[in-house]
Structure 1
Amino acid sequence: MKYFFSILFVTVLFSCKNSQNTVLNPSTKAAYGVVDVYAKETQIPATVKPLLDLWLRDTFVKLGNDGYYYLTGTIGMEGRTTSRDLSPGLQIWRSKDLKKWEDLGIVWSLDKDATWQGEFDVVKGGPKEDLNQNLIGEKRRTLWAPEVHYIKSQKTYFVVACVPENPNGNGSYILKSTSGKAEGPYVNIKDNEKGPIFPRIDGSLFEDEDGTTYFIGHNHEIAKMKPDMSGFAEPLRKFNETKYETEPYIEGAYIVKEGGKYHLIQAIWSVRQPDGTFSYNGLNPYKNNKVREQNLYSYDVVVASADNIYGPYSERYTVATGGGHNNFFKDKKGNWWSTMFGNPRGDLMKRPFVTRAAIFPIKYKDGKFSIDDNR
């Protein structure tokens, strides 16, 4: 069965009897954090369809040094629709044209290649249901949000991935390819040989033009890497960011550089407010079931920019409604693209196509990224 992605562009009509959805007056500037989830310019094109017919979250694509694009993401065991309990490890695909994808298989296995990451964690209280209503057992061993980066200064590939629960600690770790190839084999870098190098999920890497590489951490943290990529060269520090009045939970931090500026890309939920508007000025949806089930609309891509990698960063702006936990990458012609997967929670994603890897064209103009409807 082929899965096709279709986004329903919503036209909102106002009347005294129907005021659930409120659209901002275009003549007035909205308060920072208020978002128009129906804005035409942030809707993912209806022509976008999956790259693979496979359950996958947190899609990551990047051009390697060998002319191949490499794709990875969060996967579960074969035949399952969750990664919250068990995962086989790191799976990678490659393509020359972003259309036909070759499966390189599990290039780093939790059974055969992992060290401390391969230990099972015991879920306290026994079996329970996860957020996708899949029954999980007492044991879990997962690999979330992997990214594959070619670091030019090291002439090899590095993988950043994370584990939400493990006897040796929760958090992110970095693997290094010993062959110089994206398919590995991979080994732990020195500073995470015995446990996570970072105590939270969703780590990332960014190599600057001078070869300096930085680790980007979940919930707004950054640290410069040592020249040999064996660990952090400095203590973790917080980005200097423009905050919302009520700072919400944010995931999937990633950095690109364009136009001489650093662009901090993050994933954030839009939440329906009591007055019918939508805002990023909200609660943590994962800690409040009522908020999660009733008021989430879309898992969005937001971007903030700065002249210095540490900040200060501008106010965040929305690039793609429903495209959250993604990355931006350039193709061989210099065109920008964004990945996506379609979060299976929230009003927007009640569609036939969710949790599938996809990409859509974006552009950089006048200092900002936006969806490119002309490609």
Structure 2
Amino acid sequence: MEIKRRSVLAGIAGIAGATGLPATSYAAHRRYPEAWPEEQPYGLADTRLDLWPRDDNSFVLPLEHRARDAELGRVWMRDTYVNCFVVDGRPVYVATGTTRVPGRPSAGPWNDGIFVWTAPSLHGPWRLADTTGIRPDAERGKVWSPEFADENRPGRTVVAPWQEYWYDEQFGKRGNVWAPELHYFQGTWCIVACMGDHSRKVGSFLLISEGGVEGPYRVAQGNYEKPFGDSFIGGPAFVLPGAYHHIDGGLYSEDDKAWLVLHNNLYAPFRDDMEDIVPTTALPTFDQSPYAPEPYLEGAYVFRYGGKYYLMHAAWDRASTNPDGSARNAYDPPAPGRTQYQYDLIMAVSDRFEGPYSHRWTAGVGAGHNNVFEDASGHLWATFFRNPAFGYWADPSRTADAAVPGVVRMEWTGPQSNRLYVQRRRHV
């Protein structure tokens, strides 16, 4: 997405006229917040409170409640995704994420599908997508679920066999969907999501709407038999051998082209008809600047702004102690003495989609596994959800405020440094 140049230039001209300074002089003097120096050595985490979502730079979306939300008083959500699209000349805000069924503490070993909310502005009102015309007796807002397998017809697959619920002696009912992204591409609504660790096959898939944002959705042809990409050994021990594929799939589009972005270093172009990815002998990889050693990363996402490409990951900041007794916070792999602290948003920038990407920096503390989007006024926002699984937000005193559909304002440091950060209170 490009900067709205006319509004930027108009603002500069107005300020320059009022101060008597030439526009170029003002721009060179102070237009953008400063970029912070890189942490040394490479791989340290920045824990400053300025990089946290706070009351002064963020809020939790007031999403319409379902019956299941009455006890908690809000929507429980992980992997929060929010975006803004222009449809028929008007902005449409959408929200989705990983949710749980009533009575379950988390989104596994099964959950009941993908819910979508829409709004005319970021502050709402946020309403569940009106799915009553498609399934009058089903829960409003649920656009896709393994429950819909009975809607399959010859030539139209709503739920592939590997996405259906199944049962075993260890877990009972199994099958969960997580990390959905909702996109409006070439006049069609589509969802990229992932069948989770408790599914028959674990990995990413594409849903294509045959109507509006509410659906009805069907599975893309390339996912009739399996998720995108090849299977490999991975995931928890309870994942069936051969079932694990590339998780956390997302979509990046530019003009009339779209790419699948896969966990955590892979991408692939979609076919023009969006029914599958372009076949290759091996999926291409982003040219990144890895840490040494490289930890486990999640939630890869690409966003374009100011003519640059931003590659985002979620990484656990692990707290430990240096040999001299001082505190260390870093994106380290697990090891004795290292404790998961915050699930951070780390970011790198490039001139090209495929890279090479710069060194990464901490763009948001506790804001990992998210997306960045531009609202209808040109302001930048990122999502966050406060990971309740481990670390800071898993503390019993904080879990009531974890797993939220949150958004936080972002700031850009300009075309010289090209950094994006959670909006900070001070610039030093």
What is the match of residue 103 of structure 1?
A: 128
What is the match of residue 263 of structure 2?
A: 218
Give the whole-Å Cα distance in 1 for the aligned partners of 2:294 and 2:108.
26
Give me the TM-score of the superposition, normalised by structure 1.
0.82
| Residue ranges of structure 1 left out of the alignment (5+ in a row) | 1-25, 127-136
Tell whether 2:304 aligns with 1:257: yes
Give the whole-Å Cα distance in 1 for the aligned partners of 2:50 and 2:275.
42
State the Cα distance separating 1:28 from its structure 2 match.
Answer: 9.1
**Offset from partner CA, 1:49-101 (integer Å, 9 cap, x none):** 42241111000011133322110000111243311112111100011122221
Q: How does 1:1-375 map to 2 (within 5 A)?
A: 30-37=40-47, 39-47=48-56, 48-51=58-61, 52=63, 53-66=74-87, 67-99=91-123, 100-104=125-129, 105-112=141-148, 113-123=158-168, 126=170, 137-152=171-186, 155-165=187-197, 168-179=200-211, 181-198=212-229, 199-208=245-254, 210-235=255-280, 236-275=283-322, 276-283=327-334, 295-349=339-393, 350=395, 351=398, 352-366=400-414, 367-373=418-424
**Residues 46, 362 of structure 2: 8 Å contact kept:** no
**Residues 343, 355 of structure 1: 8 Å contact kept:** yes
**Residues 410, 421 of structure 2: 8 Å contact kept:** yes
**Offset from partner CA, 1:294-339 (integer Å, 9 cap, x none):** 6011000011111111111111111110011110011001110011
Give the whole-Å Cα distance in 1 for the aligned partners of 2:193 and 2:162.
10
Give the whole-Å Cα distance in 2 for the aligned partners of 1:238 and 1:325.
19
| Residue ranges of structure 2 left out of the alignment (5+ in a row) | 1-35, 64-73, 130-140, 149-157, 230-244
Q: Structure 1 residue runs of 4+, over 6 Å off?
A: none
Give the whole-Å Cα distance in 2 for the aligned partners of 1:32 and 1:167.
37
Give the whole-Å Cα distance in 2 for the aligned partners of 1:183 and 1:296.
38
State the Cα distance separating 1:223 from its structure 2 match.
Answer: 0.7
State the Cα distance separating 1:163 from its structure 2 match.
Answer: 1.1
Structure-2 change in CA distance of 1:138 and 1:28 (3 Å): closer
Give the whole-Å Cα distance in 2 for the aligned partners of 1:121 and 1:278.
41
Structure of greater Rg: 2
Give the whole-Å Cα distance in 2 for the aligned partners of 1:27 and 1:333.
30
**Residues 202, 217 of structure 1: 8 Å contact kept:** yes
State the Cα distance separating 1:43 from its structure 2 match.
Answer: 1.9
Higher helix share: 2
Q: Which amino acid letter does the alignment assign opposite residue 65 of structure 1? A: V
Give the whole-Å Cα distance in 1 for the aligned partners of 2:46 and 2:103.
37
**Residues 121, 165 of structure 1: 8 Å contact kept:** no
Q: Which amino acid letter does the alignment assign opposite residue 41 of structure 2? A: A
**Residues 338, 360 of structure 1: 8 Å contact kept:** yes
Give the whole-Å Cα distance in 2 for the aligned partners of 1:55 and 1:360.
18
**Residues 110, 117 of structure 1: 8 Å contact kept:** no
Q: Which amino acid letter does the alignment assign opposite residue 329 of structure 2? A: F
Alignment root-mean-square deviation, CA: 2.1
Give me the TM-score of the superposition, normalised by structure 2.
0.72
